[in-house]
Amino acid sequence: MPTFDVVSEVDEQEVRNAVDQAAREVAQRFDFKNTESSIELGDGVIDMASLSEDRLAALRQVLEEKLVRRKVSLKVLDYGTVEPASGGSVRQRATLQSGISAEKAKELNKFIKTLGLKGIQSSTQGDQLRVQGKKRDQLQSVIAALKEAEFGLPLQFTNFRD
């Protein structure tokens, strides 16, 4: 039976490159001078800090521009709340989302069932979803429907087998 997997992955190298580029741009730009703005990549998180909330918003925009240029979906970022830090500055943490959670997998399974295609089955396997069908054309229509729908996370389709 033809199958494919639905996954949600983050290209860590591209994220690292985007954060490095954003940090270099912030260090050189005049409007960030003396604002103590910084952006750092941790283990699955991006920490941003600046002197004021508007500079933090500008820092976030620079990061998003670099991510988009490197073809990393902005859906992988889950922004936390803006927190006050020492010296009147503010900071924010963005968590990188990878993998499909159990609740999102249920939502995806339900969506695939509501398509009403005969012979299509989907099952959760860890942090990915396996979709099986009798015909290749039906699987391709499932992929098209999943691409059009909005689930709040970037989806990739791998392991397409006949």
Long-range contact set of residues 44-47: C-beta below 8 Å, sequence gap at least 24: 44/95, 44/96, 44/98, 45/93, 45/94, 45/95, 45/96, 46/15, 46/19, 46/77, 46/93, 46/94, 46/96, 47/91, 47/92, 47/93
Mean pLDDT of 53-61: 90
Domain ranges (residues) in the chain: 3-8+100-161, 12-96
Q: Which residues contact 150 (CB under 8 A, 6 or more apart)?
A: none
Opening angle at CA 91, ends 88 and 95, nearest 5: 170
> Has residue 160 got a pLDDT over 90?
no
The two domains 3-8+100-161 and 12-96 share their CATH topology (first three levels equal): yes
Please name the CATH architecture into which domain 12-96 falls. Answer: 2-Layer Sandwich (3.30)
| pLDDT tens sequence across 13-44 | 999 999 999 999 989 989 888 888 889 998 88
The per-residue pLDDT for 69 is 94
Q: Give residue 161's pLDDT.
A: 84
pTM exceeds cut of 0.75: yes
Which class is 3-8+100-161 in CATH?
A: alpha beta
**pLDDT tens digit string along 58-90?**
999 999 999 999 998 888 888 988 888 888 889
Q: What mean pLDDT, rounded, does the chain reach?
A: 89
